[in-house]
């Protein structure tokens, strides 16, 4: 096993990490927000939670596409 001699975060930059992971963060938000909304509205019905999550992600994807086009 190769061990690092440094064991430090020297040179690590949060803004660079954020920029590199922006797509993942956006996808988590686009799925997470509708999921939380669906869970709050339809606690007893998993099918409706999935439907709200899917429709919500579709709407947020369409909004992102529209914003990028104009």
Q: What is the pLDDT along the chain (70 residues), one digit of tens a residue?
A: 555 567 788 888 999 999 999 999 999 999 999 999 999 999 899 999 999 999 999 999 999 999 988 8
Tell me what pLDDT residue 53 has: 93
Is residue 4 one of the residues assigned to a domain? no
Tell me what pLDDT residue 65 has: 94
Is residue 60 one of the residues assigned to a domain? yes
Is residue 68 one of the residues assigned to a domain? yes
What pTM did the predictor assign? 0.68
Is residue 28 one of the residues assigned to a domain? no
Is residue 43 one of the residues assigned to a domain? yes
Tell me what pLDDT residue 8 has: 81
Is residue 65 one of the residues assigned to a domain? yes
Overall domain count for the chain: 1
Is residue 29 one of the residues assigned to a domain? no
Q: Could you write out the three-class secondary structure of 14-61?
A: HHHHHHHCHHHHHHHHHHHHHHHHHHHHCCCCHHHHHHHHHHHHHHHH
Tell me what pLDDT residue 69 has: 85
Is residue 47 one of the residues assigned to a domain? yes
**Residue 55 lies in domain:** 34-70
């Amino acid at each position: 096993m190769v061990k690092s001699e440094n064991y430090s975060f020297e040179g690590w930059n949060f803004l660079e990490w954020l920029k590199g992971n922006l797509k993942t963060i956006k996808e988590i938000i686009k799925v997470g927000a509708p999921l939380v909304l669906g869970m709050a509205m339809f606690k007893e019905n998993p099918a409706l939670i999935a439907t709200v999550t899917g429709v919500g992600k579709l709407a947020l994807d369409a909004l992102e596409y529209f914003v990028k086009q104009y």
